[in-house]
Amino acid sequence: MLRRLYDWMMLQASGPYADRALAVVAFLESSIFPIPPDAMIVPMVLARPDRAWRIALVATVASVLGGLAGYAIGFFLFETLGEWIIRFYGLGEKFAAFQATWNEWGVWIILIKGLTPIPYKLVTIASGLAGFDLPVFILASIVTRGARFFLVAALLRAFGAPIKSFVEERLTLVTTGFAALIVLGFVVLRYV
């Protein structure tokens, strides 16, 4: 089953609508969706290494725009939608502690957490709720999300053939590892 799903994703990754699908996933991940865009970036770059920079750019732009949506949720809609998203991820108490350090470390929080598997939507919503300086938020988001996506694209472009072989030979292991990273991001955020 995993092999068929992998083959289907590789076909879609080189298809005509791959950029649009990536943009939607990257946008939603920065505001409400739990799956990181890396799940699409990896097969897209492996399928079309010549388009690595375009793929990273699409993910970056869409992620920053989604970050603005998350910021708006925190700024305008926290008592309704924002609070629900935080509770959905089981991070109520952690979110309160997170807010307490925001004024002193805000830009560093955006830069560091934007590179990690910790859900970026929590950073964007907290930024809006704190009324963090919007131009600084946008610039920090461009830097951190761009660094993350362009680094992934660069590594895949440079080492794509061996990585693709590794993934194809150990598909179950890679899928399990990727899922574990997502879960680990939530665990770290909840208990650390």
pLDDT per residue over 158-169, tens digit each?
A: 887 777 677 666
Domain enclosing residue 104, as ranges: 2-191
What is the token pair recorded at 186?
Answer: 């939530």
Q: What is the pLDDT of residue 72?
A: 94
> Is 0.85 surpassed by the pTM of this model?
no
- State percent of the chain over pLDDT 90: 21
pLDDT at 39: 78
pLDDT band of residue 117 (cuts 50, 70, 90) is: low
Q: What is the average pLDDT score of the chain?
A: 79
Q: Over 90: is that where the pLDDT of 187 sits?
A: no
Question: For residue 43, what are the CA distances in angstroms to 25, 28, 122, 152?
Answer: 14, 19, 26, 11
pLDDT in tens, 36-75: 788 788 888 988 899 999 999 999 999 999 999 999 998 8
Average pLDDT over residues 112-132: 78
**What pLDDT shows up at residue 155?**
87
Q: CA 114: distance to chain centroid?
A: 8
Give how many domains the chain has, as a whole number: 1
Higher pLDDT, 78 or 138: 138
Distance CA 67, CA 134 (A): 11
pLDDT band of 183, cuts 50, 70, 90: low
| Residue-level length of the chain | 192
Q: Which residue has the higher pLDDT, 66 or 187?
A: 66
SS (H, E, C) 56-104: HHHHHHHHHHHHHHHHHHHHHCHHHHHHHHHHHCCCHHHHHHHHHCHHH
Residue 3: pLDDT band by 50, 70, 90 thresholds?
A: low
Query: Using CA atoms, how far apart are residues 155 and 34, in angstroms rounded to an integer?
Result: 24
